[in-house]
Amino acid sequence: MEKTYNELHITPSSVYPLFLDFVMSLSDEAIEENDGTIILRSEEDLEMLLFGVKTFAKELSLALGTEIMLDTKLLVKENEDWIAQYRNSVQPLHVNDFYIHPSWVEGVEGKKNIIIDPALAFGSGHHETTYGCLLLLQNYVNEGTELLDVGCGSGILSIAARKCGAIVDLCDTDEQATQSAQENFKLNHESFNRIWTGSVQKRAKEYDVVVANIIADVLIMLSSDLQKAVKKDGLLILSGILDKYVDKVEQKFSSMKLVEKYQKEEWFTLVLQRN
């Protein structure tokens, strides 16, 4: 182990999810999220990655027509056992009957325990959008519910649905995410019906419940395919929606009945029913 390591802090003024996706596409190092800041640690040089993020911010500002401010810090630190420190910083999470915890923390008796180790395919339950989906899934998923998880990431929502008795399919356009989801299903001793790398268009059936925890722009882009994936009288659970985009998303899905609207901080989760 090297005596020092590099630590890069990236804090964008807006469109945080886009920066997170961009950093994840450039690096295979573990990433920490801390109150709007992306933290990357590596024994490798991070100068080129920093240059790439700054360039991305400039190009994104031009594309969106608004200036995106970027606060960055590149530090050199003593190589203490920061992996152990990071593990200690990951706190388990209670979401009603669900107890989400990393593999190094014991489960809770009487709860639906979900083991998720923080990794590149994010989704450990702590983000407001994932929390909202976990909360609402418990209200609308029962034994035998056929569910599709679009943009599954770590697979946490599919695993949660399975814990409620659902028959689950899941997909993600990122192969790394589908691999991570399969590993997490094994870790939780749960099974899925079908998984594929790709989007909702590759589905072979309609579902009682479709859940999609993705950013608002992608939800809007996939709106037709998402609605078609839901059975008549079935439900569509949408999340990843910032407050400033929620009206736009509701308008795009206006042919469906709004059943429930949940807000946590500045993030919304919607439950819609196909008429």
For residue 126, what pLDDT is reported? 73
Q: What is the pLDDT of residue 125?
A: 61
Distance CA 178, CA 175 (A): 5
Whole-structure pTM value: 0.71
- Positive or negative: CA dihedral 237, 242, 243, 244: negative
What are the chain's domains?
Answer: 4-87 (3.30.70.930), 90-273 (3.40.50.150)
Which residue in 112, 84, 119 sits closest to 97, CA to CA?
Answer: 112
* Cβ burial, residue 221 (10 Å; 0-12/13-18/19+): middle
- At residue 82, the 3 state secondary structure works out as helix
**Cα(76)–Cα(84) distance, rounded to whole angstroms?**
18
* 157 neighbors 184 (Cβ within 8 angstroms): no
| Helical axes 128-140 vs 156-163, angle rounded to 10° | 20
| pLDDT averaged per 10 residues in sequence order, the chain, 275 residues | 84 94 85 92 91 94 92 86 69 93 92 83 69 96 98 95 98 93 96 97 97 95 97 97 96 98 95 96
pLDDT given at position 149: 98
Closest CA to 181 of 271, 114, 106, 226: 114
pLDDT value at position 230?
A: 98
pLDDT at 122: 46
